[in-house]
Structure 1
Amino acid sequence: MNTEVKSGARMLDLLEYLAGCSEPVKLKDIVATLGFPKSSAHALAQTLVSRGYAIQDSTERYVLVHASRHRSATRAHEARLLSAAHPVMEQLRDVSGETVVLAVRNTRGESKRLAKCVSRQAIRFDVDLDGNSESYCTATGRLLLAHWDAALTDAYLARVPLIARTPKTVIDPDAIRALFVRIQEDGVSICDEEHILGSTGLAVPIRGRDGSVVAALNLGVVTTRYQSRSGELIAALKDAGRQISERLGYRESR
């Protein structure tokens, strides 16, 4: 006997479908792929949006909030963040030609990826949204640590094994703290082949209405392309970070 509840099964089908999509999708794509009636597909998708599991962008496409496995307040915060960031991320991906990632910091100092817009180039950087990322040797992780409470950052550096992932990885705690100061001064975090050889990461802060750093915006770049376009890529990333911060209500004092 089939004990599935039809509406529940459809919701799970929709969640699994959205989780496997690398780009936002329109309602007509959901209907065509899953075979749902349009009215049912729309109701299910809107339920995900209202509960903070997905967002609907300015072109009425749906995208899943990948880090939505937590309490509702966190989901709502992450959904608002992704709603503000996603159109800018797509624009940055198209302008730079590189992969864009949005991440936040968890309570243990580790970076948690929320969304990505993957480069369309044949040779490109990509990440698993559910994978782990060592904060001490990645651009995103260092950016978020640099803007964290100093005592908590020290506790993180004392707790986590500082392993050299490549010959270029900085693992001395004092040297990493010096990098935090430079990140705060320059407004950008750069990890050049410290996590993966052949890949250079750049990250800038996303600020909330009160000016606090609520997320990091990252560009994952093939190192050879970064070397020839570093100034252009940093400028584009900073501009995108400013746009997202303004969409969240932050206004930089002049």
Structure 2
Amino acid sequence: MNENADFEVKSAVRVLELLELLARSSEPMSLKDIVDELGYPKSSAHSLLATLVSRGYVTREESEYYRLHEGCRNGPGWSSGREALLIAVAQPIMDGLRDAEGETVFLGVRKRDGRVKPVARSISRQVIRFEADLSGSDPAYCTAMGRVLLAFWEPHRVDDYLGRERLIRHTQYTITDRLEIRRILEAVRRDGYAICDQEAYLGGSGVAAPVRDASGEVIAALNVATITQRFENSKVRMIDAIESHARLLSSKLGFKGA
């Protein structure tokens, strides 16, 4: 018998048991399986899951299937507030984009130092695919998400970032000339999307578009990432797809602009 049982709060225990169950499962779990495993009333389990989804700790897939958010399982850690809402709203849109294009989808936000923090992903089901975890941060100057987030940042902060960041040639295609990077950022602002073609990873390419909140501020970047050969064959379609899904996510966050 648990000697601390008298001090446990029932609802808190249920939340922890739910998170622990999802953490042990490598595959999404149905609401029925969760209820059967934990013995909770279906209505209670559904309410707890809805709360965890709204806070960004759990993601809901089609047909009442749930899984622990990758950021909680593998890092960078628990999310909360604005970031949790962003993830909760974005995940079904990301899953839809993955299914439509057959490629991996990422969502990234800007860190205070200007680097990119990946916060959510939807992994391609193809055998040969682009894949990366959610730990750490990525440079902004040579990634599609990073270029989007730099392009729509205050100019003096971009200046500070480019002055601090060590511009490394990750591949033979990486652009490290600061003047050329600034030209690329101008094109991103004009075109509304950014491309990274083997600059961060050899054989990996992708395109990203800005995600705006209700005020119109660019708070994140949505990215489709794939192997270079498939990107070359589908570039125009992927650009259209990332722009339309980024606009959809922005509208879900309250943005009313064009």
TM superposition score category, shorter chain reference: 0.7 to 0.9
SS at match of 1:86: helix
Change (3 A) 1:10 1:192: same
**Residue 205 of structure 1 aligns with which residue?**
210
Deviation (angstroms), 1:59: 4.9
What pairs up with 1:126-165 in 2 under 5 angstroms? 126-165=131-170
Gaps of 5+ in 1: none
**Residue 66 of structure 2 aligns with which residue?**
62
RMSD between aligned alpha carbons?
2.7
Change (3 A) 1:13 1:163: farther
Select 1:53's aligned residue among 46, 53, 57. 57
Deviation (angstroms), 1:108: 1.3
Change (3 A) 1:240 1:19: farther
Query: Which moves more between the two structures, 99-108 or 6-15?
Result: 6-15
SS at match of 1:167: coil
Question: C-alpha deviations, 1:134-193, integer Å up to 9, x for none?
Answer: 211111111111111111111111112111000000111111111110100111100100
Q: Residue 26 of structure 1 aligns to which amino acid in structure 2?
A: S
* Cα distance in structure 2, aligned partners of 1:20 and 1:127: 21
8 Å contact from structure 1 (residues 203, 218) kept in 2: yes
Question: C-alpha deviations, 1:170-217, integer Å up to 9, x for none?
Answer: 111111111110100111100100000110021000111121111100
Select 2:83's aligned residue among 78, 83, 91. 78
The two structures have a TM-score, normalised by structure 1, of 0.84
Change (3 A) 1:51 1:228: closer
Q: Residue 27 of structure 1 aligns to which amino acid in structure 2?
A: L
**Percent identity at matched positions?**
43
* Cα distance in structure 2, aligned partners of 1:16 and 1:223: 38
The two structures have a TM-score, normalised by structure 2, of 0.83
Q: Residue 241 of structure 1 aligns to which amino acid in structure 2?
A: A
Select 1:26's aligned residue among 30, 51, 69. 30
Q: Residue 78 of structure 2 aligns to which amino acid in structure 1?
A: R
**Residue 217 of structure 1 aligns with which residue?**
222
Question: C-alpha deviations, 1:57-77, integer Å up to 9, x for none?
Answer: 67544354526636xxxx121
**Residue 183 of structure 2 aligns with which residue?**
178
